[in-house]
Amino acid sequence: MNTAKKKIWAIAGGKGGVGKSFLSTNLAIDLAQKGNEVALIDADFGGANLHTFFGVSYSRVSISDFIKSSQLALEDIMIPTGIPGLRLASGAHDVIGSANPKQMQQSRLIKAIQGVQADYVLIDLGAGIASHTLDLFLMANSGILITAPEPTSVENTYRFIKSAFYRKLKNVMVHSGVRAFLEQVTESKHEDNPKTPAELIYKISEINAQAGETLKYEIAAFKPKVVLNQVRTPNDVRVGFSMKQASMKYFGINLDYVGFVEYDSLALQSIRARQPVLIHAPDAVVSGSIRRVGHNIRQNFHLVPTN
């Protein structure tokens, strides 16, 4: 294990029910089966459920204990999963107290994740665009968005991309005028707000030229990945390419389409059996899909249209 080269993957979804936890669990298992030391962290503070994928009804310790106690290290709450090389930090039990961690708690969690002893750390994030969700997504080496090939899911994914990018800009921009401008355009729908990346760069450069150059760099560096789940048809597969084109056209952001997970009834059977599908049905179509997605993320590959 070389912690200097540790990879952190954050898995998010613009809306619930797209298979985020399902994919997080099985990607972690795939990495562990390849001989890696893996830590899987359930950071869905409003609806933690990763433990159920491993057949664990209740974990004695959880993220909520870590958040409440400054004496606990993240390593202290890691539990075995039954999969060699894979440990789990179970999600918060106390939803009321932990669903919206304070800034200090959030910063401590980020620092703790960065210090986890593992080859890979996978973070299963809550759905939506809460500030702590965006910050955990942005701190990762690879930010992975799971979506389904249907309009509302795709629309919520675009919303997440835009929110994460503006959150990233607010975190790096130090010029007070630029920060005020970003607050204005993210919190209102004024008709004068920038409608394209070029217009955003122009307006920020007018406020401060150096900030405009920083913006150009941040746009180029922000490359979230997208995975389509529950794919049934070739048209579903093509949704990923359409999302990539739209993301570049409207946001100027290069969205990497790293793969899709084919629909397979064995996936649902595995969930009902409270067993990850890579263990329940390792030779299933869906299991092969997950391994291909994991390979593409590790190798930084993305799909390209065949015609």
The packing angle between helices 131-139 and 103-114, to 10°, is 20
| Percent of the chain whose predicted confidence (pLDDT) is above 70 | 93
Which of 57-61, 81-85, 217-221 has the lowest average pLDDT?
A: 57-61
Residue 21, SS3 per DSSP: helix
Q: Is 132 a member of any domain? A: yes
Q: Is 198 a member of any domain? A: no
For residue 139, what pLDDT is reported?
93
Give 183-207 pLDDT, tens digit per residue: 888 777 777 788 777 888 889 999 9
| Residue keyed to tokens 């004496």 | 71
For residue 284, what pLDDT is reported?
96
Q: Is 238 a member of any domain? A: no
Read off the CATH number of the domain in which 128 is found.
Answer: 3.40.50.300
pLDDT at residue 94 is higher than 70: no
The span from the CA of 153 to the CA of 144, in Å, is 15
Give me the DSSP letters along 157-169: HHHHHHHHHHHHH
pLDDT at residue 47 is higher than 80: no
Residue 89, SS3 per DSSP: strand
Average pLDDT, the chain: 88
Q: Is 252 a member of any domain? A: no
pLDDT at residue 128 is higher than 90: no
CA angle 94, 95, 101 (to 5 degrees): 95
Residue 269 in tokens: 């059977």
Q: Is 235 a member of any domain? A: no
Number of domains present in the structure of the chain: 1
For residue 59, what pLDDT is reported?
67
What is the Cα gyration radius of the chain?
19
Q: Which CA distances in Å does 120 have to 2, 39, 129, 140, 200?
A: 10, 6, 24, 11, 36
More confident residue, 132 or 225: 225
Residues in the chain: 307
Whether this model's pTM surpasses 0.85: yes
| Residue keyed to tokens 């122009």 | 202
What single-letter DSSP state applies at residue 209? H
For residue 87, give its domain range. Answer: 3-145+263-299
